[in-house]
Structure 1
Amino acid sequence: MINIGINQAHREEIAAGLNQLLADSYSLYLKTHSFHWNVTGPMFTSLHLLFEQQYTELALAVDLIAERVRALGARALGSYSAYAKLTEIHEDQGVTKAETMIRELLSDQEVVIRNARALYPLVSQANDEATADLLTQRIQIHEKNAWMLRSLLSE
């Protein structure tokens, strides 16, 4: 029995939200890594490095998210099919234009931000400070990533 000051119903709901974040984060990791491998054009070097920085950070993040799910007493999802059912992030469909990659990753970063932020009311209600801290950190990183990607666009 888990007795950490958060009732079971709240733990289960928060874990479900974190599994959503895990699915989004892992899907974004895969897509960003694919774009890192496949980017071409005049911005190759800068995008290749930026994408590497972003997917490397995501690789570490998925572990933190999954471990928080486990600390709440739930099972962390760990399969492509489970992630595909939950995430709103679309797989790389063979995109070759750098600007399209930037736009897709920007949109995907914003998906992660919105889904992480949507979990806050429940986390606050449950007084789950540890998950709130994790969400705050994730939102800050994804907002910075979105800003960097947005800055590359000539709009």
Structure 2
Amino acid sequence: MASEKLITELNQLLSDFHIYYQNTRGFHWNIKGKRFFELHAKFEELYTEALTNIDDLAERILTIKGQPLHSFQAYLETSKIQPVTNMSEDDKIVKSLLDQLETLVAQENVVKELAAGEGDSETEDMMIGLINDQEKTMWMFRSWLGQ
């Protein structure tokens, strides 16, 4: 059975993902400018992927006998990622997404190390997959910014 610490950290990640998801939806809706079509499509890809990750995380928490957080209030109170509103400039949005992805990766590393320490290779593997995907996205956004 998973430790309470692992379940707490997974719920932290679940909360972070919910706020990241909603921020990305807002960016998708509000992007303006000459790169609208390119970024509008990319943001839809990101929030669709985030929704899948949210479901997978909640189901993993249940699988290891935990209870996933499941209210917006809990997500807002728990998330290390803050809601972003009224942002429509492409460079600012991409920089915000990079910051949010860095927060997700940092939390995924916390979960990965806890899972490894508890011999939970399934959760550890899940985190490795998330980290790999998000680090690639971060590299692409940094390249897009010319960094």
TM-score (norm 1): 0.90
Could you give the per-residue CA deviations for residues 83-129 of structure 1, whole angstroms, max 9, x where no partner exists? Answer: 11121211122112111101000110010001110222221111001
- Of residues 55-64 and 121-130 in structure 1, the stretch that sits farther from structure 2 once superposed is 121-130
Q: How many residues align?
A: 147
Give 3-state SS (helix, strand or coil) of 2:81's partner.
Answer: coil
Is residue 23 of structure 1 aligned with residue 15 of structure 2? yes
Unaligned runs of 5+ in 1: 1-5
Is residue 66 of structure 1 aligned with residue 52 of structure 2? no
1:3-152 equivalences under 5 Å are 6=1, 10-152=2-144
State the distance in 1 between where 2:3 and 2:61 align: 9
8 Å CA contact 1:11–1:73 kept in 2: the answer is no
State the distance in 1 between where 2:24 and 2:142 align: 15
| Moved beyond 4 Å, runs of 4+ | none
TM-score (norm 2): 0.95
* Larger radius of gyration between Structure 1 and Structure 2: 1
State the distance in 1 between where 2:137 and 2:129 align: 12
Give 3-state SS (helix, strand or coil) of 2:3's partner.
Answer: helix
8 Å CA contact 2:23–2:85 kept in 1: the answer is no
Q: How far 1:11 moved relative to its partner?
A: 2.7
Unaligned runs of 5+ in 2: none
